[in-house]
Structure formats: structure tokens, C-alpha cells
Amino acid sequence: MKDDRGIFTLDSDTVASNPGRVRIMPFVLMRHMHKSVLLLIPLLASLFFAFQVSLLWGALPSAIFFVINYLYWRRKQEHFAYGDSNGGIVVSENPKLIAVATDLSKGFAGSFPVVKIVPYKGKAKLNDRIGTIALYEGTSSCTPHWSDFFPVPMEYVNNNGKELDAVLRSYSEESWEVLESRLKQIGKPYKEGLFKISAENSSW
């Protein structure tokens, strides 16, 4: 699933190998993604202006902010329903970081294994396993691999334990072993970034 980075809806030309299928809980998302609240404020303000001051002058801004909010939430729903789901491991507590492995291959040429290490603000402890859902970014349709991917912990949008556990069970034990093996190549101390893996018949 491609991330157009700045466009509100997702490219439908690609399909995730393991779609997230995670249900969004709005208040959970707003607690972790403050942009959703920042987008909501001007909508509420314009609605207040329209009903309390001038319906004529408030209607157009209200409509504009409503569309922006609608597209934002639609994008998030698509992200967590159709984005690529991968397991993550908490690899550091100070600072709190998680590591996620994937293959950036677009499926028609070669293998491009990587590990992405990103900040983590959840409740899991060191070495705990969590689920993430990622969007992928590419610079050209003719390149054999994506340029980057952006995993987001599922708990940022859903705090239902049964649903989160169901996603964790979708990951094979082999996938966890692959992540742990790649982490050995990176070495400690871990830091944020995208790390290319040279083993595993890599095409890098």
C-alpha cells in the first residue's frame, strides 16, 4: 500500500501482503495522533461562527474544514484496514524504540530486506512484541523497491486487547526470528532509522 505523503487518500494500485484489518477507535487515535485534534478545532470554530454569528459567512469555511476532516479520517481508516501489518519488538527503553522488519521489494524483482527503528510511545516493555501497520513510499513506479516504509503501532488507534492479540497471532514465528536475526546485524545501541540488510539473498 503506497503512502502518497501529503495526499489524504491512498493509492489503490498496490495491495499489502498482510493487510492490517484493524478497527479505528476515534478517541484512542486522537489521544496518540494530535493532528486529528488540530484539524477538528477549526471545524468546530467555523460551525460555532456559522450558527452564532453568520450562517452566510460561516457555511463555506465549515464545508471546507468538514471535507478536510473527512478525508483525514478516511485516510486513517484505509491505513489501518489495508496497510501492511508487521510485528515489532521494543528494542530500547531510554529512549523508547521499536524495530520492524519488512522487504521493500515491489514483488517483481529481487529482495530488499530492511529494519526500521522508530520512536515508541506505547505501554509495552523492553523485548515485548507488538503489532504495527505500515504504508510504503516510492519515488518511481519503475524502481524494483520502495524507498521507505512507515510502521505505526496498532495500539495508537485501537486498545481492544482481543483485537490486538488476533493481529499478533497472524505473524508467524519465522517472521519474529527474521526480525531478531536482522537486529543482530545492526548492533547496539539502537538508533532511529532505516537499515538495509545485506544478507538473506539481498539485492541491495
- At 20-49, the pLDDT tens digits run 889 999 999 999 999 999 999 999 999 999
Question: Sheet harboring 148-153: ordered strands across?
Answer: 148-153, 129-137, 84-93, 96-103, 113-119, 193-196
Q: Give the angle subtended at the CA of 174 by the CAs of 77 and 13, to the nearest 5°.
A: 35
Distance set, CA 23 to CA 125, 128, 176, 183 (Å): 24, 22, 24, 30
Element (H, E) at 164: helix 161-168
When mean pLDDT is compared across 9-18, 23-32, 62-71, the lowest value belongs to 9-18
pTM to 2 decimals? 0.85
pLDDT band with cut points at 50, 70 and 90 for residue 11: low
Query: Does residue 150 surpass a pLDDT of 60?
Result: yes
Identity at 26, one-letter amino acid code: P
Q: Supply the mean pLDDT for the chain.
A: 90
Q: What does the block give as the cell for 158?
A: 485501537
pLDDT band with cut points at 50, 70 and 90 for residue 187: confident
Residue with cell 508467524: 172
Residue 9: per-residue pLDDT: 41
Report pLDDT digits (tens) over 90-124.
Answer: 999 999 999 999 999 987 778 999 999 999 999 99
